[in-house]
Structure 1
Amino acid sequence: MEPKKNPKADLSRNTGLYFAVGLFAVMALTYFALEHKTYEGGNEYDISMNVDDDLDEEVPMTEQLKTPPPPPPPAAPEIIEVVEDEEEVEETVIESTESNEEEEVMEVEDVEVEEVDEDVDVPFAVIENVPVFPGCESESNKRACFNKMMQKHISKNFRYPEIAQEMGVQGRVSVMFTIQKDGSIGNVRMRGPDKNLEKEAARIISKLPRMTPGKQRGRAVRVPFSIPITFKLQ
C-alpha cells in the first residue's frame, strides 16, 4: 500500500533541529536579560569635591640655619710653674674636756633657790584654807560658814527683773566668779535662760564684800567658785 501522506509534509522529520534552535534562543535571551544593566540619568555628584592637584601657589623652601662651630679649647701652657706654700699655718689644738681622777674637784657653795610665785587657780572644793567670808573669822568650819553667808547675801539682794516677770521668764542662772589673791571678786560669768536674769545675777555677785583670800601651802591663790541662782515666778 502506498502511504497516504506526502513525505515532504512530515513534521516530525526535523524535530531535533527545531528543539536545538529553540533551546539556543531561550538561553540567549536569558543571558542578555541577566547581563543587561541600567543607569540613572543625570550627574548627581558634587563638583566641588573635584580638587585640582595642580597648585598655582609656590611654597617657599625652608632655609636651613647654619650654627657656628664652637670655639676651639684654649691651648695648654707649655711650662707648668710650681709655687711653694711659704706661709705657715698654726694648728688648732682641741683639749679634752673629760676629767681625770687626779684632778681635784672644787666644792660649790650652797646655792639659794628662790621660790617662784606661781599664779594658779585652786578650786574651792580642794583648797587647804578656804576664803573667809566677812563674819566667819571665828567659825571653826569656815567652808560651811562661807556657803551659808553666800545664800544669805543672795536672798538679801535678790530682786526679780520686772521685764522678766511681764514676759513670764524664769529659770536657773549658773554664776561663776573668782576670788582673787587680794580677796576681791573678778572674772564673773553667767549662763542662764534669759539676758535679764543673767544681768540681775551679775548685779547680786558684784555686791559681794571683800573677803580674806584662800591659801594653798601658806600662799594666797585665786579660788574659782560657782553657785546657781534660781528665778521662779510665784
Structure 2
Amino acid sequence: MKKLVFIACFLIGGVTFSNAQQTSPVWPGCENSEDIKECFNQKLSQHVRENYEYPQNDAGEYVRGKVTISFAIDENGEVVVNSIEGEEPQVKKAAKEMIMKIPDMEPGTLNGEADSRNFTVPFNF
C-alpha cells in the first residue's frame, strides 16, 4: 500500500510540474508583442548596440574581446549580474556596466508568481 501511495504521489507531482505555467520577463515596449521572447531578444540587441562603450587602452586604442555574461532578471524585474567570463578586464568591466543599464521590467512568472530568470549570452566586442 505504501508503494502505491508513493507511486501516486510521484506521478501527480510529475504531472503538476509538467503543467507549470511559465512566462518570460517583459522588456518595456514588448507588453503587446505577439512574441515576448523575440521582442526581448530584439530589445537586448538594441540595448547592446546603444549602451556598450568600448574601453580604450593607454595608447587610446579601443580594447576588444569576447565575454560571456550570465545575468538574471529577478523577482522584482531588476538585473542581477551573476558572472562575466573573458580575457580582457576592461571589456568585462564595460560589459557589466552595459548590462546593469538594462531597464527594470515585468519579471517572468512561474504559476502566476514572480520568478527569477537566468540568461547566459556570449558577446564579441
TM normalised by structure 1 equals: 0.42
More strand by share: 2
Quote how far apart the aligned CAs of 1:187 are: 3.5
Q: Which has the larger radius of gyration?
A: 1
Tell me the matched-pair count: 105
Residue 172 (structure 1) aligned with residue 66 (structure 2): yes
Distance in 1, matches of 2:28 and 2:92, equals 25
- Aligned-pair identity (%): 31
Does the 8 Å contact 2:66/2:87 carry over to 1? yes
SS in 2 for 1:173: strand
Residue 134 (structure 1) aligned with residue 34 (structure 2): no
Please list every run of 5 or more consecutive structure 1 residues that lacks an aligned counterpart in the other structure.
1-126
**Cα-Cα RMSD:** 1.9
SS in 2 for 1:215: strand
Tell me the alpha carbon deviations over residues 42-90 of structure 1, each in whole angstroms, 9 at most, x when there is no partner.
xxxxxxxxxxxxxxxxxxxxxxxxxxxxxxxxxxxxxxxxxxxxxxxxx
Distance in 2, matches of 1:192 and 1:165, equals 22
Letter in 1 for 2:95: A
Residue 158 (structure 1) aligned with residue 52 (structure 2): yes
- Identify the structure with bigger relative contact order (alpha carbons < 8 Å, sequence gap 6+): 2
Does the 8 Å contact 2:54/2:64 carry over to 1? no
Letter in 2 for 1:138: N
More helix by share: 2
Quote how far apart the aligned CAs of 1:158 are: 1.7
Letter in 2 for 1:182: N
Displacement over 6 Å in runs of 4+: none
